[in-house]
Amino acid sequence: MDLSKFKNINDFKAIAAEKLASQAYDYLTGGAEDLRTLERNKLAYAQYQIRPRRLIDVSSIDMSIELFGRKWDTPIILSPVGVQALFHPQGEIATAKAANQQGHLMIASTVSNYSYQEIADVCRVKPWFQLYPTTNLEARKTLIQRAEENGCEVLVLTIDVPTVGNREKHAKMLTDNVHGRTGTMGNLKGLLNPDDIFHDLSMTWEIISWIRERTNMRLILKGILTYEDALLAMEFGVDGIIVSNHGGRQLESDMSTLEVLPEIVNAIGGKIPVVIDGGIRRGTDILKAIALGADAVCIGRAFIYGLSVFGQNGVERILAILSDELERNMRLTGVTKIDSINTSFIRKKQW
């Protein structure tokens, strides 16, 4: 099917709303409590304006970035999103093929329907693996080892789920599909006992050395929201961080990721990569996040809207839309390289 008639992320969201089972759609679009954090993630981007410069040669635009010695064509990364077979039968395989085809980095979730190995098998450059630590230490160790054995170079530890957020609208969906059904999850099949849970209430900073002792993969923390934790992350020697509030699905804090980005970038001082996610729906959002100091961005719901109805083609179209928007808006802003996008290109709305 020709997907060119879908012009932006919202067009895909509309068709997902029409075609997805309502429970799956609620699960995808839902968040914690009154959804204020979820909404604020998006609204924060509207609070910033872009300051374009004129009469600059923008005939050639380079959107590439480098992360841990690998070059990527754009700063757009696919967030870890669990149980993608809820949205399309090909689930994470369709996403991986699209990411691979378009040269984007994918992060594969612990709670994927397909296993990390199945996902990695369709990718030239292996996805990063996102770890939910689980209370079962043997299972935790196995998850880490399997990722490494299958070529994973970077482990992403999600640290904002000591317990699951109060997602009223899709609580039942979560219990039915995520907690109670590890048998449908490629990585967890046969690995967890009925009493084990995939998050760990007692996790502390000590988990970093526990992980370091068991793998040579690089380690990134996903879920940092304060400069204090950014400083601690560096003290504990992690290789990078993702500024994230889980797309507003965990704590209803009313703090958007874009708002906290500057204090974190300031604390990190360029020593390790800072990635941001939450609320990114346009190329201008990406430009603003980079201007405020992010090295790269992750998109979550945006690519799942594409996966939902059209599988691999849909994800490819979403990635093409966002890449085109970023490229066009870099031209319109008068900036030709990602590295050159800085705070001089942005200001807070005055009224």
Ligand X SMILES: Cc1cc2nc3c(=O)[nH]c(=O)nc-3n(C[C@H](O)[C@H](O)[C@H](O)COP(=O)(O)O)c2cc1C
Q: What's CA 163's distance to the chain center, in Å?
A: 19
Residues 134-163 that bind ligand X (CB under 6 A): 158
Task: Give the residue among 306, 233, 303, 244 at the shortest CA–CA distance from 275.
Answer: 244
**Distance of alpha carbon 242 from alpha carbon 219, whole angstroms:** 11
At which residue do the structure tokens 């090909």 appear?
90
222 scored as a contact of ligand X (CB under 6 A): yes
**Distance of alpha carbon 119 from alpha carbon 114, whole angstroms:** 7
**Distance of alpha carbon 40 from alpha carbon 46, whole angstroms:** 10
Between 325 and 335, whose beta carbon lies closer to ligand X?
Answer: 325
**Minimal distance, residue 208 CB to ligand X, in Å:** 17
At which residue do the structure tokens 């399309």 appear?
88
Between 165 and 293, whose beta carbon lies closer to ligand X?
Answer: 165
299 scored as a contact of ligand X (CB under 6 A): yes
Segment interacting with ligand X (CB under 6 A) among 6-14, 73-81, 145-153, 181-189: 73-81
Q: Which DSSP letter does residue 120 get?
A: H
Residues 157-216 that bind ligand X (CB under 6 A): 158
Residues 266-295 that bind ligand X (CB under 6 A): 277-280
Among 12, 301, 326, 346, binds ligand X (CB under 6 A): 301
Among 6, 13, 20, 41, binds ligand X (CB under 6 A): 41
Q: CB–CB of 289/251 below 8 Å? A: no
Segment interacting with ligand X (CB under 6 A) among 54-62, 96-104, 245-253, 330-338: 245-253
**Minimal distance, residue 14 CB to ligand X, in Å:** 16
- Residue-wise over 301-326: b if at least 16 C-beta within 10 A, else e? bbbbbbbbbbbbbbbbbbbebbbebb
Total residues contacting ligand X by CB under 6 A comes to 24
28 scored as a contact of ligand X (CB under 6 A): yes
- Residue-wise over 114-130: b if at least 16 C-beta within 10 A, else e? bbbbbbbebbebbbbbb
**Minimal distance, residue 56 CB to ligand X, in Å:** 31
Between 91 and 293, whose beta carbon lies closer to ligand X?
Answer: 91
Q: What x-and-dash track marks residues 248-267 binding ligand X by CB under 6 A?
A: -x------------------
Between 307 and 335, whose beta carbon lies closer to ligand X?
Answer: 307
Give the C-alpha distances (Å, rounded to integers) separating 254 from 33, 131, 249, 348.
11, 25, 11, 19
Between 274 and 335, whose beta carbon lies closer to ligand X?
Answer: 274
Burial bucket for residue 38 (CB in 10 Å: 0-12, 13-18, 19+):
buried
Active site residue 88: no
Segment interacting with ligand X (CB under 6 A) among 76-84, 189-197, 207-215, 341-349: 76-84
Identity at 268, one-letter amino acid code: I
Between 249 and 336, whose beta carbon lies closer to ligand X?
Answer: 249
Give the C-alpha distances (Å, rounded to integers) separating 101 from 105, 160, 254, 316.
11, 31, 37, 8
In the complex, residue closest to ligand X by CB: 300
Instruction: Give the footprint of ligand X on this chain (CB under 6 A).
Output: 27-28, 41, 79-82, 109, 111, 130, 158, 222, 244, 246-247, 249, 277-280, 299-302
Q: Which residues are catalytic?
A: 246
